[in-house]
Amino acid sequence: MLNFTHCVPTRFVFGRGVENEVGKYLKEVGATKALIHFGGGSAVRSGLIGRVERSLDEAGIAYVELGGAQPNPRDTLVYKGIELARAEKVDFILAVGGGSVIDSSKAIAHGTCYDGDFWDFFCGKAKPVTTLPFGAVLTMSAAGSESSNSCVITQESTKTKRGLRSELNRCRLAFMDPELPMTLPPYQIACGATDILAHMMERYFTSTDGVDLIDRMAEGAMTAVIAAARTAVKKPDDYDAQAQLMWASTVAHNDTVGVGRVQDWGSHQIEHELSALYDVAHGAGLAVVFPAWMRYHMDKDVMRFAQFAVRVYNCEMDFQHPEVTALRGIEAHEQFLRDIGMPLTLKELGARTEDIPALAAKTKKTNPDGTTGGTFHMTPQDIEAILRIADR
C-alpha cells in the first residue's frame, strides 16, 4: 500500500426529508446569504426548491436563485453565476441537483474569489487558493461530486471538457435524501449507477500490490451497487435501493475505496471527450468506454481482471486459463450494463467513426510523458484502438 492522506471535511445529512433542515445547517456554518443554483427545472417541478427556500426562510438566511445548469455544465453559466454571486455578495453557494449543478456551483464558488478567468483552473494555468463555502442538496446518485475533490466543466466555444482536482472542491455540507432520485427516469438511474461503478473500477484496476482491505471493500460495494441498480431501474420508488445507491455515490468517489494505490482514470478522460463532443450522459459514455478499455488492457494484468470476475460477478476461476475468467468478468459486466438499459457501442451513443482519431488526440494527457491513465499509460494510438473496440 502507498502512503496517503485522506480528509473528507463534508458533513453528510442523510435520510428522508433532510432538505427541510438545510437552513439550520447553513446557519451553523455561518451562511447569511446563499446563491441557490439548480438545473433545467426538475427541482422546481418537484417542489424541492420551494422546500429548500422555506427552510432558509425559517432560519433567516437570505437567498438569490440561478437556474439553468445543463448536464455537462458549461462555462457560460459559470460566468453568470460569478457575476451574480459578486453583485449579491452571497457567502454560500447551495447546489440543488446532480453532479452538473454541483460542479457548476463549485466553479462559481472558486471563480467568485479569483481575479482572473475561472477557466484558468481548468486549463492548468492557475490553481485555486481560496473559495466560497458551498454545499449540495443531492437529487441523483451518480457523480459523487457531493464529497469528491473534483469538478468538471465544459468550455462551450471549444467543446473542451476538463476536470479540476483540488481539496477546495469538497462540499461543506451534503444533504442526501434517497427519496429525491425517485423522480428520475430509469435511464438516468442507470447512468448514475454506471458512473458509481466506474468510480470504483478506476480505483480497483491498480498496479499497487498489498491493497487487499480496499479491494475487498470495493468488491463488496460494487456487488451492492449492481444489486441496487437492478432494483432501482425497475422500481424507482424502492427506498432501500435508492439509499444504497446514494451512499455508494459518495463512497465511490471520495476515496473511501481508493486510498493507498495507483488509480487509473483513463476511461474517464476518454469519456469526457465523448460527452463534450456529443453531449451524451457521462454514465452512458462510460458504459461504452469502460468495457472496451477492459478488453484492451486485460492481458497486462490478467489476474486482477480475473479477481474482479470472480469476486464481483461470481465467475468461476479457471486457474489453467485465467484469461478466460477475466473475459467472463468483462462479459458479465457488459450484460449487467445491457440489463439496466445502457448502451455498449459508440453507434448507440451517436458517435461517428470518422471522429475517432480526433477524439483520441484530444483526450487529456495526464502523465508527464504525454500519456493518459495511471495504471495503464495510454498513447493516443492506444486510445484510438480502445475507441475502435467500442465502435461495434
Contacts with Zn ion, residue ranges (CB under 5 A): 195
**Which position among 104, 105, 112, 139 is part of the footprint of ligand NZQ (CB under 6 A)?**
139
Is 146 among the residues that bind ligand NZQ (CB under 6 A)?
A: no
The smaller minimum CB distance to Zn ion, of residues 195 and 334, is found at 195
The smaller minimum CB distance to ligand NZQ, of residues 22 and 309, is found at 22
Identify which of 184, 195, 176 has the alpha carbon closest to the alpha carbon of residue 236: 184
Identify which of 390, 178, 171 has the alpha carbon closest to the alpha carbon of residue 286: 390
Is 192 among the residues that bind ligand NZQ (CB under 6 A)?
A: yes
Q: Which one of Zn ion, ligand NZQ, none is in contact with 101 (Cβ closer than 5 to 8 A by kind)?
A: ligand NZQ
Is 39 among the residues that bind ligand NZQ (CB under 6 A)?
A: yes
**Which position among 101, 108, 197, 326 is part of the footprint of ligand NZQ (CB under 6 A)?**
101
CA pair distance 36, 53, nearest whole angstrom: 9
Is 366 among the residues that bind ligand NZQ (CB under 6 A)?
A: no
Residue with C-alpha cell 428522508? Answer: 16
244 CB contacts (<8 Å, ≥6 apart)?
224, 225, 227, 228
- The C-alpha cell at 327 is 473475459
The smaller minimum CB distance to Zn ion, of residues 63 and 290, is found at 290
Q: Which one of Zn ion, ligand NZQ, none is in contact with 152 (Cβ closer than 5 to 8 A by kind)?
A: ligand NZQ
Order of strands, sheet of 92-97, starting from the edge strand that comes earlier in the sequence: 11-14, 173-176, 134-138, 92-97, 33-38, 62-66
The smaller minimum CB distance to ligand NZQ, of residues 97 and 329, is found at 97
The smaller minimum CB distance to Zn ion, of residues 35 and 151, is found at 151
Size of the chain in residues: 392
Work out how close the CB of 327 gets to ligand NZQ at its nearest, in angstroms, rounded to a whole number. Answer: 26
At residue 209, the 3 state secondary structure works out as coil
The smaller minimum CB distance to Zn ion, of residues 195 and 273, is found at 195
Q: Where are the beta strands (DSSP E) in the chain?
A: 11-14, 33-38, 62-66, 92-97, 134-138, 150-155, 160-165, 173-176
Residue ranges binding ligand NZQ (CB under 6 A): 39-43, 71-73, 97-101, 103, 139-140, 142-145, 148, 150-152, 180-181, 183-184, 188, 192, 195, 253, 268, 275, 282-283
